[in-house]
Amino acid sequence: MIVASLLSNYAFEKFNVNKYTPSEFRRLFSEMVSQPDEDIDLAKAALYISGTEYPDLDVDYYVNTLDSLAEGAREYIGQEHDPRARIQRLSEFLYVHEEFRGNGEDYYDPRNAYLNEVLERRTGIPITLCLVYMEVARRVGMVFEGIGLPGHFVIRTGPPEEELYVDAFNGGLLMSRNDCEQLVQNLFHGRMEFREEYLRPYTKKEYLIRILANFKQDYFRLEDYQRAIKAADLVAIVDPSLGSNLRERASFHYALKQYRLAIRDLESYLEADPQSQDAEDVRQQIRAIWAALSALN
């Protein structure tokens, strides 16, 4: 790989770092997302998420990895000025020379959503590969925004009349708006009506929430409810009143028989939206949990 030699200067620093605890990484994440959206460093925020699982993680090392990838990409793109050609050159650099790829063989492995693991293993899911692509592109003067299609994440660049989409999971495939619509139709077998809102660019906070949603989903599949709760706790730092997160966290607590915590989340859900369509169902859940608690005493 071209970048391997460029990273040699950082090899020592990777193993000679100031150690952080998971709670300190959580604090760093909280401080980052408390800023206005435009001031959030998306790569660092994602690495702070990683740090809650990998407390020896050296954030600077992985930021330097992105810098080095960009240095190699800049040289590979050269003097090319055509936007489409620049994207194609960048994709060739990342997917052919640097061997990034979508992990279709083990899609639900939680490591696919940790940015440090993606940079080390050169494989991931759409949203983390999009993050790598965006961060490298930004460093070489190409601005992309995240597009959260249902079931798949892509990125977009260019003005409306010349917009280009990139599927970072599938080798940097160039796509049009129509291609995005067809992708959604294929994923849902024509059962989902495509809406223009699906092409709305994500804010950085929304981007982080969607990364964390993957952890909740993956750890729920593994019945690792403690880690699923940890991901939900980080979502709550970004958006404390997000109803879907409160209900999901309640279910994780319930699975661990942490009934009072489950009730707390369900009550917070009702406080955030007392008129929600499922409010009565939630009240019934709360009553059922209280009944289960009383039977234990």
Q: Can you give the pLDDT at residue 8?
A: 47
- Residue 47, both tokens: 């690495």
Q: Can you give the pLDDT at residue 1?
A: 58
Q: Decide if 45 contacts 56 (C-beta within 8 A).
A: no
Q: Can you give the pLDDT at residue 173?
A: 97
Range with lowest mean pLDDT among 39-43, 198-202, 292-296: 292-296
Q: Decide if 84 contacts 164 (C-beta within 8 A).
A: yes
The pLDDT confidence band at residue 3, using thresholds 50, 70 and 90, is low
CA distance 125 to 111: 9
Pairing between β-strand 123-124 and β-strand 145-149 as defined by DSSP bridges: unpaired
Residues 17-46: what's their mean pLDDT? 93
pLDDT at 115 over 80: yes
**Phi, psi for residue 188 in degrees, rounded to 5:** -110, 15
The pLDDT confidence band at residue 275, using thresholds 50, 70 and 90, is confident
CA distance 49 to 22: 9
Residue 174, phi-psi category: left (phi > 0), alpha (psi -120 to 50), beta (remainder): beta
CA distance 172 to 181: 17
pLDDT at 14 over 80: no
Q: Can you give the pLDDT at residue 202?
A: 98
Half-sphere exposure of 6 (CA within 13 A, CB side): 16
pLDDT at 256 over 90: yes
Query: Per-residue pLDDT tens for 185-236?
Result: 999 999 999 999 999 999 999 999 999 999 999 999 999 999 999 999 999 9
pLDDT at 117 over 80: yes
Q: Decide if 147 contacts 82 (C-beta within 8 A).
A: no
pLDDT at 13 over 60: no
**Phi, psi for residue 82 in degrees, rounded to 5:** -65, 125
In 3D space, the residue among 169, 203, 201 whose CA is nearest the CA of residue 183 turns out to be: 169
pLDDT at 280 over 80: yes
What is the set of domains in the chain, with CATH numbers? 2-199 (3.10.620), 240-296 (no CATH)
pLDDT at 265 over 70: yes
CA distance 48 to 54: 9
- Residue 290, both tokens: 């209280």
Q: At what angle do helices 243-255 and 225-238 cross, to 10 degrees?
A: 160
Query: Per-residue pLDDT tens for 121-152?
Result: 999 999 999 999 999 999 999 999 999 999 99
Range with lowest mean pLDDT among 167-171, 231-235, 288-292: 288-292
> How far from 27 is each of 46, 61, 114, 213, CA to CA, in Å?
13, 20, 18, 20
Q: Can you give the pLDDT at residue 120?
A: 98
Q: Can you give the pLDDT at residue 297?
A: 64
pLDDT at 11 over 50: no
Q: Decide if 194 contacts 185 (C-beta within 8 A).
A: yes
287 vs 1: which has the higher pLDDT: 287
Q: Mean pLDDT score of the chain, rounded to an integer?
A: 93
The pLDDT confidence band at residue 15, using thresholds 50, 70 and 90, is very low
Residues 28-33: what's their mean pLDDT? 98
